[in-house]
Structure 1
Amino acid sequence: MDTKKMKRELETRLQQENRSIQYDREKETIRIENKETGKGITVSLASAVSKWHEQQEKAINEVVYYVEEALGVMGKDQRMAGNEKKIFPVIRSTSFPQQSSDGNNFITDEHTAETRIYYALDLGNTYRLVDEELLQKEGWDQDKIREIARFNLRSLSTEMKKDTVAGNDFYFLNTNDGYDASRILNDRFLKETSEKIKGEMAIAVPHQDVLIICDIQNETGYDILAQMTMSFFTNGHVPITALSFMYEDGELEPIFIMAKNRRNK
């Protein structure tokens, strides 16, 4: 599979009478737009090919699914008023775009050197990241979005599964509701968890659909956490960061775990 074959495959699957598909040879992307609204989504062919080499047909099916969902959402009436319970914070990497494809700035807050906070309006099978245009249309300010989203986050389940490896306890939060990684913003949850930790507490958010908390009780725990986080990072639908964070006194400090159990902040 190469970018030319991927282009032909996606064009075949996504072409409809009310859509246009434009190919950017220089950037190796295709943009699928609704002809009536001019709204659409851009797909990186190189990224799709890379995933195909790992997941084969599943990778193409996922691209088609997310494009169809995104285009479907663009046709819906998206209002926050009356849908306050559907607004949540989402964690993304600092390399994630800060503008929509239409050039509107997303509403964001700083988090760590590796992560940034965005805000989402849940639309069922997918969600829309809140941008300045939507905020202005509703007449809301960022403080209101932040307050509502954090309140809703605290209502989400924090039930975790535990696994012990080489004397270290690993806890996994994986509900697949789209906001698993967002639980890292639930201060009360992190504080309560830290009170049960016997050794050092580390947290990882390799992609949006998992939160890993590790009770590191020996040096081997660092290596296991690093390998585990990288594996999740490379296989996640929306990767965030392969780095982990040490949690102490309510603060998150990114760490880089090197070979032979050494770690740097």
Structure 2
Amino acid sequence: MNTKQIKDMLVAQLDRDDWTYRYDAKKDTLRIEDTHTKKGITVSLPNIVAKWEQNGEAAIDEVVYYITEALTVMNEELQLNGKEKHIFPVIRSTSFPDKSNEEVPLLYDDHTAETRIYYAVDLGKTYRLIDESLLARENWDRERLREVARFNVRSLEMPFKKDEVAGNVFYFINTNDGYDASRILHEKFLKNFSEKVEGEFAIATPHQDVLILADIRNDTGYDVLAQMAMSFFASGRVPITALPFLYEDGNLEPIFILAKNKQSE
């Protein structure tokens, strides 16, 4: 399966007269756009090929659903006032676009050398990222947005599954609510968790729908964590970073893991 074949499958399944489809062979992307509003979404085709190789038709179904939901809500009038309980932070890589498709700057804060914090309004089945024009229209300031979003992420449940590999313990938060990686911003939870680990506390946010917490008790644990993070990164609908972090005194430090050695960035 190549990117052109994936593109043809997506166009065939989406198949709407009020949408246009633009294939960029050089960038290996497909742009789907509403013909009336000119709003749209661009998807990376190589990422979908990788998912196809793992999940087959289910990968196409997932992307079609994501595109359909995203384009539907793009045409809805977005509000902040009255939606305070539905505003959340979302973690993205530093390579993620800093402007909307309409070239309006998106609101974000620096997080680590690998990640940024964007802000979104939850719409049920999907969410919309908040840009500067929305903040101005609703008469909000950045600090209010940060406080509301951080408060809401602290209200999320923190269920996890536990696995032990070679004497190391790994915990996975994977609720698929769109904010699993965002839970890395729950500072009190991380602090309490760090006090319970026996080894070194490492965290990974390979994609938006998983948060990995690791109690690394020997060198093998670093290798296992690196492999897990890379595997999740390759399969995630919204990849963030395959690079894990060490948590020390409230700080997150990216680490490179090579041949059973950990090296700080």
The answer to whether TM tops 0.5 is yes
Contact 2:47 2:234 in 1 (8 A): no
Partner of 2:262: 263
TM-score where L is the length of structure 1: 0.94
Identity %: 61
Q: CA deviation at 1:99?
A: 1.2
Structure 1 residue matching 2:155: 3-state secondary structure: coil
5 Å-filtered alignment, 1:129-144, equals 129-144=129-144
Query: Following the alignment from structure 2 to structure 1, what is the Cα–Cα distance between the partners of residues 158 and 121?
Result: 21
Shift, 1:25, TM fit: 4.3
Distance 1:4 1:221 in 2: 39
Over 6 Å off, 4+ runs:
none
For residues 3 and 237 of structure 2, the distance between their equivalents in structure 1, rounded to whole angstroms, comes to 20
Q: How does 1:148-163 map to 2 (within 5 A)?
A: 148-163=148-163
Q: Distance in 2 between matches of 1:195 and 1:156?
A: 21
Deviation at 1:149, TM superposition (A): 0.1
**Is 1:58 matched with 2:46?**
no
Contact 2:245–2:255 (CA under 8 A) maintained in structure 1 = yes
Counterpart contact for 1:181–1:205, Cα < 8 Å: yes
Q: How does 1:39-54 map to 2 (within 5 A)?
A: 39-54=39-54
Partner of 1:93: 93
Bigger mean CA offset, 153-162 vs 110-119: 153-162
Deviations 1:196-248 (A, max 9, x none): 11111111111111111111112221111111111111111111111111111
Q: Deviation digits for residues 23-53 of structure 1, max 9, x if unmatched?
A: 3344343322222212111233344334333
Partner in structure 2 of residue 4 of structure 1: 4
Partner of 2:215: 215
Deviation at 1:81, TM superposition (A): 0.7
Q: 1:173 to 1:46 in 2, by over 3 A?
A: closer
Taking the aligned partners of 1:20 and 1:252, their CA distance within structure 2 comes to: 42
8 Å CA contact retained: 2:104, 2:133: yes
CA distance in 1 between partners of 2:169 and 2:154 (Å): 24
SS at match of 1:78: coil
Amino acid of the structure 1 residue aligned with 2:24? D
Q: Distance in 2 between the 1:31 and 1:257 partners?
A: 36
1:90-109 CA distance string (max 9 Å, x none):
11111111111111111000
Q: How does 1:241-252 map to 2 (within 5 A)?
A: 241-252=241-252
Residue 232 of structure 2: SS of its match in structure 1? helix
Q: Is the 8 A contact 1:15 1:21 kept in 2?
A: no
Q: TM-score, normalised by structure 2?
A: 0.94
Paired with 2:200 and 2:251, the residues of 1 have a C-alpha distance of 13
8 Å Cα contact 1:244-1:255 kept in structure 2: yes
Deviation at 1:257, TM superposition (A): 0.7
Aligned: 1:84 with 2:84: yes
Question: Do 2:50 and 2:234's aligned partners in 1 also have CA atoms closer than 8 Å?
Answer: no
Q: 1:57 to 1:142 in 2, by over 3 A?
A: same
Runs of 5+ consecutive residues of structure 1 not aligned to the other structure: none
How far is the alpha carbon of 1:159 from its aligned partner? 2.6
State the alpha-carbon separation in 1 of the partners of residues 215 and 25 from structure 2: 48
Q: How does 1:96-111 map to 2 (within 5 A)?
A: 96-111=96-111
Q: Deviations over 1:117-156 (max 9, x none)?
A: 1001001111001111211111111111101000101101
**RMSD (Å) for aligned C-alpha atoms:** 1.6
In the alignment, which residue of structure 2 is the partner of 1:117? Answer: 117
Larger mean CA deviation between 192-201 and 43-52 belongs to 43-52
Match for 1:175: what amino acid? T
Change (3 A) 1:23 1:182: same
Gaps of 5+ in 2: none
Q: Secondary structure in 2 aligned to 1:202?
A: strand
What amino acid is aligned across from residue 20 of structure 1 in structure 2? T
Task: Report Cα offsets for 1:41-72 as digits up to 9, x if no partner.
Answer: 12333443343333322222122111101111
Aligned length: 264
